[in-house]
């Protein structure tokens, strides 16, 4: 009984902080917009938000995750694979198509939003002619087989019914590891590398019906090195399957 009381108090505490943030934001917006006839806040809106947030409950969802098969494209601003003999930037390939799977679970559900976790793993392969620099700076052409496999964990804050009753939108913050392997015809070119990265993006969900959703994702990713070797955009589209 003591555990339950503490849990309810902590939930009300978080809800009150959210309400306080919204109140301050709306009050500030009202003050800034008071000189403009186009800015309008409905009477009693602040009190309504405070009341609904204070009385809202945090619902923990079931532990059964959803599965989403996705088709994605990496558009690297830079993707450097280097060893002591060669340095290759795969930005020259412009886009790298790959497949990935998302496993998703719900951490908390609010009245009109939810906090989600995602775990994803992907794999891509491409064989093309690329240009690479050797240790002396000489530009060399080679036919390369490139493989890459990103693994990522993401926290998503999802807002229900953003533009219509069928659309949800989330803000996604994540990070992970990228495995890259290249094979070429030149001696000493073969190389495997691992890179850590962080990402910031968004996911749009369109509900076709209760059991079917179509996802569209976009995210900016970068490693945290002073001179980045992995940075760019990720695009993806797929469909939810319940498991």
Does residue 81 have a pLDDT over 60?
yes
Grade residue 164 by pLDDT with cuts at 50, 70 and 90.
confident
Q: Between residues 45 and 174, which one has the greater pLDDT?
A: 174
Q: Has residue 16 been placed in a domain? A: yes
| 51 and 148 part of one domain | no
Q: Rounded CA gap, 191 and 144, in Å? A: 11
| 24 and 85 part of one domain | no
Q: Rounded CA gap, 231 and 233, in Å? A: 7
CATH code of the domain covering residue 126: 2.40.160.20
Q: Rounded CA gap, 107 and 155, in Å? A: 9
| 27 and 94 part of one domain | no
CA-nearest of 219, 221, 113 to 172 is: 219
| 81 and 40 part of one domain | no
Is residue 132 within 8 A of residue 142, CB to CB? The reply is: yes
| 98 and 175 part of one domain | yes
Domain interval for residue 44: 2-55
Grade residue 182 by pLDDT with cuts at 50, 70 and 90.
very high
Query: What confidence score (pLDDT) does residue 21 get?
Result: 47
Q: Rounded CA gap, 8 and 114, in Å? A: 18
Q: Between residues 45 and 209, which one has the greater pLDDT?
A: 209
The tens digit of pLDDT for each residue in 21-41 reads 445 445 544 444 444 444 444
Q: Has residue 131 been placed in a domain? A: yes
The tens digit of pLDDT for each residue in 144-155 reads 999 999 999 999
- Chain-wide mean pLDDT for the chain? 79
Q: Between residues 14 and 73, which one has the greater pLDDT?
A: 73
106: Cα separation from own chain's centroid: 15
Does residue 141 have a pLDDT over 80?
yes
Query: What confidence score (pLDDT) does residue 114 get?
Result: 87
By DSSP bridging, strand 230-239 and strand 241-242 are: unpaired
DSSP, residue by residue, 64-91: PPEEEEEEEEEEEEEEEEE-SSEEEEGG
| 15 and 112 part of one domain | no
| 188 and 142 part of one domain | yes
Q: Has residue 195 been placed in a domain? A: yes
If one counts the domains in the chain, the total is 2
| 95 and 163 part of one domain | yes
pTM: 0.69
Q: Has residue 61 been placed in a domain? A: no
| 210 and 163 part of one domain | yes
Q: Has residue 60 been placed in a domain? A: no
């Amino acid at each position: 009984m003591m555990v339950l009381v503490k849990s309810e108090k902590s939930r009300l505490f978080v809800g009150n902080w959210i309400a306080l943030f919204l109140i301050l934001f709306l009050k500030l917006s009202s003050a800034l917009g008071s000189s403009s006839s186009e800015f309008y806040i409905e009477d009693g809106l602040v009190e309504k938000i405070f009341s609904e947030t204070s009385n809202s409950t945090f619902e923990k969802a079931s532990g059964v995750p959803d599965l989403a098969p996705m088709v994605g494209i990496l558009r690297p601003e830079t993707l450097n694979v280097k060893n002591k003999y060669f340095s290759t930037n795969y930005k020259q390939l412009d886009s790298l198509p790959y497949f990935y799977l998302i496993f998703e679970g719900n951490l908390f559900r609010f009245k009109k939003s939810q906090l989600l976790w995602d775990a994803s793993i992907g794999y891509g392969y491409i064989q093309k002619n690329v240009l690479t620099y050797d240790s002396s700076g000489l530009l060399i052409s080679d036919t390369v087989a490139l493989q890459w496999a990103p693994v990522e964990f993401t926290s998503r804050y999802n807002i229900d019914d953003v533009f219509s009753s069928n659309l949800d939108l989330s803000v996604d913050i994540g990070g992970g590891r990228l495995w890259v392997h290249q094979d070429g015809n030149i001696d000493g070119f073969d190389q495997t590398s691992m890179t850590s990265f962080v990402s910031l993006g968004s996911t749009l969900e369109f509900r076709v019906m209760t059991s079917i959703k179509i996802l569209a994702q976009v995210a900016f990713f970068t490693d945290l090195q002073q001179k980045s070797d992995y940075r760019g955009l990720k695009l993806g589209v797929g469909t939810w399957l319940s498991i």
